[in-house]
Amino acid sequence: MFVDQVKVFVKAGDGGNGLVAYRREKYVPLGGPAGGDGGNGGDVIFKVDEGLNTLMDFRYQRHFKAKRGENGMSKGQHGKNAEPLILPVPPGTLVRDEDSGELIADLTKQGQEAVIAKGGRGGRGNSRFATPRNPAPDFAENGEPGVERNLQIELKLIADVGLVGFPSVGKSTFISVVSAAKPKIADYHFTTLAPNLGVVETKDQRSFVLADLPGLIEGAHEGIGLGHQFLRHVERTRVIVHVIDMASTEGRDPYDDYVTINKELEEYNDDLPSRPQIIIANKMDIPEAEENLVVFKEKIPEGIEVFPISAITRDGLQDVLYAIADKLDEIPKIEKPVEDQTERVVYRFEESEKPFEITRDPDGAYVLYGEPIEKLFKMTDFNRDEAARRFARQMRAMGVDEALRKRGAKDGDVIRLLEYEFEFID
């Protein structure tokens, strides 16, 4: 089964908790705090594996969670960092944040990696908070929560050449005779329900990857037929090969087919019509095809190559394969070495994230929310009084107390943060 669009949830590992501990060894007076830091949580990483050509692995497992870091240990020992969770994806994978629509990664090369969700850092042990004023702190940090993300993963096949055309014009037959691909072939529309990839080698030892894309029809860019599901795969191709039923076996005019398909490509992506295009006039073994070919050549713009073939009798195949290979040689993949790329840093003003926001619930309670204050809350161990007092001081420094007073908060009012409630004391 070909799967090229999935939605998944990923969560990086939380950091390990810091430890509250003290040195209690013989002959070591006033040993002091010795709690170690927690280990960092594991990242979620996507890595390209060219052995994959579908997102099938994500179809049945939609939730992925990396391991958390180990907690800190006594004698100042650091907890072990968690290993990253590496998920293999096929070349041509686009990863977007579903909630914001932001493009996170475009993975195209073998072995390419991208950190999709960053693991949380480990919490600091109590030895990290020792000061002359407080030489034996009785608190430590909890680990930082790992990043959570809802992702939309999309696959755009990476092929040199894309076959486009109406259903039943002979695309599947063509790819089956020029490569080892074995697509389904039958005498009805939409036999191809998923793109087929085939490696083609010409007699002069040049090779390229050919993608047979499911039949397009008028209105495909708006979701009619199957074209809307697979038009995205045309975007990666360097050459478009347009297969036309020149015998007009279904009563359609070949030139109208040519115009209609090009219009659909343009409606989907303005850049597609500018791609180099080769026209294959298929089914030339049928008598009516010769007359139609003469009329067709008179109508199309000059400079576009038309190659008459018969995929059934295999006439003309070598000529068109050489033409495709020649066209690909003219437009090689241009990849500038990293050291040759010019880098330009653009500085723009970005408003810093507010540490907190305040709203009110219908019952009159004040609600605090915002990523900075929520992260601070999660990293506080409220089982220890000293840690709770530190959190209160941090909130005061952030301006929470003053902001609540301005909103009208009075003694005894309920303050909510995540699922927890506090009492405001002025």
**Highest-scoring range by mean pLDDT, 126-130, 227-231, 352-356:** 126-130
| One-letter amino acid of 384 | R
- Distance of alpha carbon 405 from alpha carbon 35, whole angstroms: 38
Q: Do the annotations mark residue 40 as ligand-binding? A: no
pLDDT digits (tens, 9 = 90+) for 19-59: 999 988 888 777 789 999 999 999 999 999 988 877 888 88
Q: Do the annotations mark residue 214 as ligand-binding? A: yes
With beta carbons less than 8 A apart as the criterion, state whether 87 and 64 touch: yes
More confident residue, 27 or 335: 27
Query: Over 60: is that where the pLDDT of 69 sits?
Result: yes
Q: Do the annotations mark residue 213 as ligand-binding? A: yes
Helix, strand, or coil here: 409?
coil
Q: What is the pLDDT of residue 312?
A: 85
Q: What is the pLDDT of residue 195?
A: 67
Query: Over 50: is that where the pLDDT of 225 sits?
Result: no
With beta carbons less than 8 A apart as the criterion, state whether 142 and 377 touch: no
* Contact partners, residue 134, CB within 8 Å, separation at least 6: none
| One-letter amino acid of 391 | F
Q: Do the annotations mark residue 82 as ligand-binding? A: no
Q: Do the annotations mark residue 257 as ligand-binding? A: no
What structural domains does the chain harbor?
Answer: 5-155 (2.70.210.12), 161-330 (3.40.50.300), 357-424 (3.30.300.350)
| One-letter amino acid of 357 | E
Q: What is the pLDDT of residue 346?
A: 62
Token pair 């691909």: residue: 181
Tokens found for residue 291: 């007359």
- Distance of alpha carbon 290 from alpha carbon 117, whole angstroms: 59
Q: Do the annotations mark residue 169 as ligand-binding? A: yes
For the chain, count helices (H), then strands (E).
9, 18
Q: Is the pTM of this model over 0.85?
A: no
Q: Do the annotations mark residue 179 as ligand-binding? A: no
Confidence band, pLDDT 50/70/90 cuts, at residue 230: low
Q: Do the annotations mark residue 193 as ligand-binding? A: yes
More confident residue, 84 or 275: 84
Q: Do the annotations mark residue 260 as ligand-binding? A: no
More confident residue, 44 or 292: 44
User: Average pLDDT over the chain, rounded to whole?
Assistant: 83
Q: What is the secondary structure of 48-70 as a DSSP string?
A: E-TT--S-THHHH--EEEPPPPP
Q: Do the annotations mark residue 126 as ligand-binding? A: no
CA 173 to chain centre: 33
Q: Do the annotations mark residue 311 as ligand-binding? A: yes
Q: Do the annotations mark residue 135 as ligand-binding? A: no
Confidence band, pLDDT 50/70/90 cuts, at residue 211: confident
Alpha helices, DSSP H, located in 57-211? 57-60, 171-178
In the chain, the percentage of residues whose pLDDT exceeds 70 is: 85
Burial (0-12, 13-18, 19+ Cβ within 10 Å), 46 = buried
Q: What is the pLDDT of residue 352?
A: 67
Q: HSE on the CB side for 272, CA within 13 Å? A: 23
CA 269 to each of CA 165, 232, 242: distance values in angstroms, whole numbers, following the listed order? 16, 9, 16
Burial (0-12, 13-18, 19+ Cβ within 10 Å), 17 = buried
Query: Over 90: is that where the pLDDT of 109 sits?
Result: no
- Distance of alpha carbon 200 from alpha carbon 205, whole angstroms: 10
Q: Do the annotations mark residue 287 as ligand-binding? A: no
Q: What is the pLDDT of residue 338?
A: 39
Q: Do the annotations mark residue 90 as ligand-binding? A: no
- Distance of alpha carbon 246 from alpha carbon 255, whole angstroms: 9
